[in-house]
Structure 1
Amino acid sequence: MVCVSRRSALGALAASPVAAALLPHLTPTAAQAQQTAQPSPNVQQAPGFYRVRVGDLIVTRINDGQFARPNPTEGFVRNASPDDVAAALRDAFLPTEALTIPITFMAVQGGGRTVLIDTGTGGQLMPTAAFGARNMAAAGIDPARVTMVVISHFHPDHISGLAGADGKPLFPNAEILVPEAEWAFWMDDAAMSRAPEAMQGTFKTARARFGAYPQERIRRYDANAEVAPGIQAIAAAGHTPGHTAFAVSSGGKQLMVLSDTSNHPALFVRNPGWHAVFDMDPALAEANRRKLFDRAAADRMPVVGYHFPFPGVGHISQRDRGFEFEPAPWSAEI
C-alpha cells in the first residue's frame, strides 16, 4: 500500500496541465484568508426574537437593543453604597464602569389576535436601541395586523414605538390600552407643571405618542382588569403611579410579565430592597417587587423582565435575603 501525503498530492497536481485551473480553488489566496480573518465592519447580530408557548398562546420576545448606564455604582441605586453596588456587579461578572441594560418588548398571539405588551423605543431614543421594527419583521409580525397594544407604563422606552418620528401611528389598526392611573397622572396639566425637569420629557413623549391615535381607539383599564383574553393586569405601582405587570394564562399554564418591577436582575432581583433611581415611589415599588417575586417563586411561575438579559425568560427563586433570576434554557422547540 502506498501512502501519499497531502503535500505530495498537491505537488503532483501542480505539475499537471489542470493545475492552474484547480489550485486557486483548493488553496485560499491571501485576499481570501484576509477576508476570513477580517469580518465586514457592518456585521450585525442575528435578528433578536425568541418564542415560548403558554398553553395555546405564543409569546414572542422582541429585542429592541440596549442602553448603557454609565457609572452604575454612582446614583443608580438610591439606598446602596457604591461599594455594595460594585460588589454586586462583580459578583455577576458585570463591569462597574458602565452597565448594559437590554430592552425587550413582546407579542402574545392566539385566537386570531396579535397583542403587543409595550412597544420599545421606536428607534427614537438612542442608536443602540433601534432594532424593534427589524426584529418584529424577522419574527413575521406585521404592525398593520397588530390588534391591540397594551402599555405597562408611560416611560419613553416603553411607548416611543407607538408612533414614528413623523408622528404617524406605527400600529394603524390597533386598539391602545393604557393603565387608568398612568393616564390620569401623565395627562394631567397640573402634575406636569409641578414635575421636575428630569420628568418633563416623559410628559411630552406620552402626549405626542398617544396623540398619534384617535382618542376613541385609546382605552383605559383598571389596575387588575383582564385586558385581553388570557392577559390579566397586575397592579404594581411605585415605579410609576400606574405601573402594571401582567399574567399571561392559557391551558393551565402561566407566565408573569414583570414589566419594570425590577431593572437589571443582578442588582434588583438579588437585592429587592434596593431602590432604582427611576422609581417614583421607591417604598411602594419595593413592596410590589417583593410581592410579585414571592408569588412567582411560590408558584414556580415563569417570568419575563423588560430589562433582563435577552430573551429574559426564566424563574425567580428565593436566595438568602433576596431572590435570584434563573434563566430558562434556550430551546429550539416552542
Structure 2
Amino acid sequence: MTGINRRMMLAGAAAGATAAMLPGAKPARAALPLQGKQNPGWYRYKVGDYEVTVVTDGAGTFPLPDKFVVNASKDQVAAELAKHHLDPAKITVPFTPIVINTGSKLVLIDTGYGEEAAKKPNATTGQVTANLKAAGIDPANIDIVIISHFHGDHVNGLLNAEKKLAYPNAEVMVPAVEWKYWTDDGEMSRAPEGRMQGLFKSNRAIFDALNRKVTPYEWNKEVIPGLTAIGTPGHTPGHTSYVLASGNGKVFIQSDVTNVPFLFVSNPGWHAGYDQDGDLAEATRRKTYDMIVAEKLPVQGFHYPFPGLGHLEKAGDGYRLVPMPWNPVI
C-alpha cells in the first residue's frame, strides 16, 4: 500500500514546476479563456408521479452582520461558520424555488427576487426566469404560482423587470393568514419603521400591480391535488410549508422554517434576524423537524445549498442535514 504525505505532495509540486522551466519545455496553453460564470441552475427529481424541478434564483453573499442571529453573538456565529468550512466573515444565502409538474399543471412555489434584481451591477440573484427557460419551462406556461410568505426573495419575482406580470397566465395563490396580515392597514400602522414598514410598502406595490387578484388558501388543506399547506408561523405570521405526496413518494417543502442550515439546523434555538417572532419560529422549527425526523421525510429547503434536498437526523439538542446525493436519472 502506498502512502502519500504532505512532504511528498510538496516535492511533487516543486518537481512539476521545475520541469515546466526546463529548456525546450513547451508553455502550457489554456484550451479556452476563463468563462467567469456557472451553468444554468436546475435539477429534477420525482415524487411519485410528479416531477419536481428545482430552480435556483442565485445566492447572496454579504459581510456577517452583528445580528444575523439575534440571540447569539457574532463570534459564536463566526465560529459555527468556520466549523462548517465556511468563511467566518461572510454569509452566503441561497434562494431556491421549485416547479411541480403534475402532468396536467405546472406549479411554481415562490418566485425569488425576480428579473429586476438580475439587472443590478454584479448581480448574483434574480436568476429564476433564465433558469426556468434553461430547464425548458416557459414562464408563460406556469399555471399556478403558490407563495409561502411575503418576503422579497419569495414574492418580488411575481413581476418582471418592466413591473409586468412575470407569469401572465398563472393563478397566484397566497396563505390566507399571510394575506390578511400584510393587507391590514392597522398592522401596517403599527409596524416598526425600517425593514417592516418597507416590507408592507413593497408587498402592497407588488400585489397592487396584480390588482390584488389572488386566491387565498387555508392551512391543513390541499392547495392543489397532492400538495397540502402546513402552517409554520413565526418567520412571518402566515408562513407556510407544504407536504407534497404522490403515489409512494413524499417530500416536505420547508420554505423558511430555517434560514441557512449550517447555522439553524444544528442550532434550532438560534433566532434569525429575519424571523418576525423568534420564539414562535423556534417552537415551529423544533416541532416541524421532530416530525420530519420521526416520519423520515426528505426535506426541500429554500435556503439550503442547491439543489436543497436532504434528510434530517437528530444530533444532540439540534439536528443534522444529510444532503441527498445527485441522481443522474429522474
TM over 0.5, yes or no? yes
The question of whether the paired residues in 1 share the 8 Å contact of 2:78 and 2:89 is answered with no
Say which of 202, 208, 211 aligns to 1:205: 202
Instruction: Please name the residue that 2:58 is paired with.
Output: 65
Work out the CA distance in 2 between the residues paired with 1:222 and 1:328. 31
What pairs with 1:1-334 in structure 2 (closer than 5 Å)?
A: 34-36=29-31, 38-40=33-35, 43-72=36-65, 74-125=66-117, 127-196=123-192, 197-215=194-212, 217-334=213-330
Gaps of 5+ in 1: 1-28
Is the radius of gyration larger for structure 1 or structure 2?
A: 1
The verdict on how the C-alpha distance between 1:37 and 1:142 changes in structure 2, with shifts beyond 3 A counting, is closer
Count of aligned residue pairs for this structure pair: 301
TM-score under structure 1 length normalisation: 0.86
Work out the CA distance in 1 between the residues paired with 2:291 and 2:173. 25
| 1:290 Cα deviation from its structure 2 partner | 0.7
Gaps of 5+ in 2: 1-25
Q: Give, as a single letter, the amino acid of the residue that structure 1 aligns with 2:268.
A: P
- Higher mean displacement: 194-203 or 276-285: 194-203
Work out the CA distance in 2 between the residues paired with 1:241 and 1:286. 13
Work out the CA distance in 1 between the residues paired with 2:62 and 2:69. 12
| 1:34 Cα deviation from its structure 2 partner | 4.7
The question of whether the paired residues in 2 share the 8 Å contact of 1:223 and 1:242 is answered with no
- Output one character per residue of 1:157-194: Cα deviation in whole Å (capped at 9) or x when no partner: 10011012322111111111101111111111222222
The alignment-based identity, stated in percent, is 46
The question of whether the paired residues in 1 share the 8 Å contact of 2:67 and 2:73 is answered with no
| 1:204 Cα deviation from its structure 2 partner | 2.0
Q: Give, as a single letter, the amino acid of the residue that structure 2 aligns with 1:295.
A: M
Q: Give, as a single letter, the amino acid of the residue that structure 1 aligns with 2:159.
A: A
Aligned to 1:164, the other structure's residue is in SS state coil
TM-score under structure 2 length normalisation: 0.87
The question of whether the paired residues in 2 share the 8 Å contact of 1:313 and 1:328 is answered with yes
- Output one character per residue of 1:123-164: Cα deviation in whole Å (capped at 9) or x when no partner: 334611021111000111111111101000000010011012
Work out the CA distance in 2 between the residues paired with 1:226 and 1:136. 25
| 1:37 Cα deviation from its structure 2 partner | 6.9
Aligned to 1:51, the other structure's residue is in SS state strand
Aligned to 1:211, the other structure's residue is in SS state helix
Work out the CA distance in 2 between the residues paired with 1:50 and 1:311. 7
Instruction: Please name the residue that 1:17 is paired with.
Output: none
* CA RMSD of superposed structures (Å): 1.7
- Output one character per residue of 1:49-75: Cα deviation in whole Å (capped at 9) or x when no partner: 011100000111100111124224x21
The question of whether the paired residues in 2 share the 8 Å contact of 1:119 and 1:158 is answered with yes
Q: Give, as a single letter, the amino acid of the residue that structure 2 aligns with 1:79.
A: N
The question of whether the paired residues in 2 share the 8 Å contact of 1:296 and 1:316 is answered with yes
| 1:35 Cα deviation from its structure 2 partner | 4.7
Work out the CA distance in 2 between the residues paired with 1:111 and 1:62. 18
| 1:245 Cα deviation from its structure 2 partner | 0.5
Work out the CA distance in 2 between the residues paired with 1:122 and 1:160. 6
Work out the CA distance in 2 between the residues paired with 1:69 and 1:266. 16
